[in-house]
Structure 1
Amino acid sequence: MFTAIGTYMTRMFDQIGGAAQMVRSSLFWLTHSRFEFRQAVDQSVTIGVESLGVTALTSLFTGMVLALQAGNTIGNIFGEPIFVGTIVTFSLIRELGPVLTSVVVSGRAGAAVTAQIGTMAVTEQIDALYTLGTNPIRYLVIPRMFGFMLTMPILTLFSNLFGVLGGYLVAVYALGIAGEVYITDITSFMGVRDFMHGFIKTFVFAFMVATVCCYKGISTRGGAEGVGKSTTGAVVTTIVLILVLDYFLTAILTAFGI
């Protein structure tokens, strides 16, 4: 048992150290070389634009089910559904919007990034980049990290919008709440501080997802089987870290009054 625990801990800290070295190298090349603008734009389209549909659909139905559950629960307690707009909006903008967007992007774009870089690693294309005098961190990692950092906050904005819209549709057409009341519940209690609480989280999640997925891809070994293991490991790791980081970020931001 102790051997297994020691082996697991050694492997975990080895991966953390490798990811930290990759981030350090990314910062170095970002300030000492030409930025791959075309690659960054292509990755932004792949990560952001192509993830918009599934993100919007997920958030729309999340807002709908939040409104339905809140309306029925509050209706059973107080006799009528009140503050449904407030509950839906606070839940989405402060927590569910950033978390669900990060999970969806991790499962869709993060897995694709890991599989793409991992395939290049096992087919020795990364070694070929070294031979050609091109650093893989500058050419592969930095554009993808830029794509995640740029697009995930924008996707979160759309996620919040569609979630609130879904809650509005259910509140008006299923619960019989006036649309003006739903909007008033939002504008009366929601402030800029609440919006920033969730928006700040998105940048941390984006950096974490980009780091884990790129490192898992670069460190892939073992052919096609290794690519599958790296992709699965990247998705599972990012989803777990999103939930773990969400708690600590919430505690820190709340302590600072955000």
Structure 2
Amino acid sequence: MLKILEAIGSFVLRRLGEIGTIVMLYGETMRALRHKPRMRHILNQMSHLGVDSLLIVSLTLLFTGVVFTLQTADVLIRFGAQGTVGGIISIAIGRELGPVLVAVVCAGRVGAAITAEISTMKVTEQIDALRVMAVSPIDYLLVPRMLACMIVVPLLTVFGDVIGVFGGWLIAVCYEGISSYAYMNSIHVFVELFDLTGGVIKAVFFGNVIAVLGCYYGLHCPDGAEGVGRATTKTVVSSIIVIFILNAVLTFFLY
């Protein structure tokens, strides 16, 4: 029994220490924002992290819209509410499915890429070389990636929302027999602007989380190739958990 309690206590203390280190890193990043950001680095990161994620985001949201419409349209038609299909699909994707799914995809694609890149730099002692040259790794590595993610993830979310609604339109019109006018009119009637902007606000926070956790695990990865793999896995798992928790909190306050 004592060994079990000791193991639980050790686990809790490690997690609390990890959270404290992440908070301190986040504070250092916020202080580093007082300096003028390197726009060239930010644009390079936006291209690397954002453009390369367009395809997987498109496929994810397209088939999410398709499946969600298949699941809901039959029930709504059965109760004579086919005129609400477009509005329901748009609200669900705009508020929840769009930002959360894009964030989860980016946690796997973007977060893993950030961690792999920075942890490789750490293992090959490039981080130490930056410090020797009096260059802050926070300014040079973390700030451009965080700002890029806070811009790219909301843009991908807007793009994904449009693709998801289009996927719903394809099924509603081509498979369920709902007129295109009824689908689009229900969006106009039921959807408010904040249903979409609220999801974009969530995406800004999600992008922040993905970048900070990706850089944290990259900077603190164990030595060796195996350490890089472990750090990448920790980034993806931790980011997804934090995204779901943060989504619940933001939903409570936003809506």
Report the TM range for the smaller structure's normalisation. over 0.9
Distance 2:81 2:88 in 1: 15
Runs of 4+ in 1 over 3 A off after TM superposition: 79-82
The Cα offsets for residues 162-195 of structure 1, whole Å up to 9 and x where unpaired, read as 0000000110000010000000110001111222
Aligned pairs for 1:104-183 within 5 A? 104-183=105-184
In structure 2, C-alpha distance between the alignment counterparts of 1:167 and 1:186, rounded to whole Å? 12
Q: Could you tell me how far apart the structure 1 residues matched to 2:29 and 2:69 are?
A: 43
The residue type equivalent to 1:220 in the other structure is C
Instruction: Tell me the residue number matched to 1:42.
Output: 44
Aligned counterparts of 1:134 and 1:152: Cα–Cα separation in 2: 28
| Alignment partner, residue 64 of structure 2 | 62
CA RMSD of aligned residues (A): 1.3
Alignment-derived partner of residue 213 in structure 1? 214
Instruction: Give the counterpart letter for 1:235 in structure 2.
Output: V
Rounded to whole Å, the distance in 2 between the matches of 1:28 and 1:252 is 27
Structure 2 portions without partners, runs of 5+: none
Count matched residues: 252
Match of 2:30 among 23, 27, 36: 27
Q: State the distance in 2 between where 1:30 and 1:74 align.
A: 49
Q: Which residue of 2 aligns with 1:11?
A: 14
- Asked whether the equivalents of residues 71 and 82 of structure 1 are also in contact (C-alpha less than 8 Å), the reply is no
TM-score, normalising length: structure 2: 0.95
Q: In structure 2, what is the Cα distance between the partners aligned to 1:182 and 1:81? A: 8
Q: Distance in 1 between matches of 2:191 and 2:33?
A: 38
- Give the letter for the 1:84 counterpart: V
User: Relative to 1, partners in 2 of residues 1:224 and 1:82: Cα closer, same or farther, differing over 3 Å?
Assistant: same
Matching residue of 1:192 = 193
Report if the CA contact (8 A) 1:55-1:101 is conserved: yes
Q: Offset of 1:243 from its aligned partner?
A: 1.1
Q: Does the CA-based 8 Å contact 1:111-1:232 persist in structure 2?
A: yes
1:80 Cα deviation from its structure 2 partner? 6.9
Name the stretch that deviates more: 150-159 or 197-206: 197-206
The Cα shift of 1:157 comes to 0.4
Taking a change above 3 Å as real, the CA distance of residues 82 and 140 of structure 1, as seen in their structure-2 partners, is same
Please say if 1:226 is aligned against 2:227. Answer: yes
Q: 5+ residue gaps in structure 1? A: none
> Alpha-carbon deviation of 1:34?
4.2
Query: What is the TM-score normalised by the length of structure 1?
Result: 0.94
Q: How far, CA to CA, are the matches of 1:8 and 1:122 in structure 2?
A: 26
Counting aligned pairs with the same residue, the percent is 41
Between the aligned partners of 1:80 and 1:30, the Cα distance in structure 2 is 50
**CA pair 244-216 structure 1, distance change in 2 beyond 3 A:** same
Q: What do residues 70-92 of structure 1 show as CA deviations (whole Å, max 9, x unaligned)?
A: 112223x4267442112211110
Look up the SS of the partner of 2:134 in the other structure.
coil
Which amino acid in 2 is paired with 1:200? I
Partners of 2:212 and 2:133 lie apart in 1 by 25
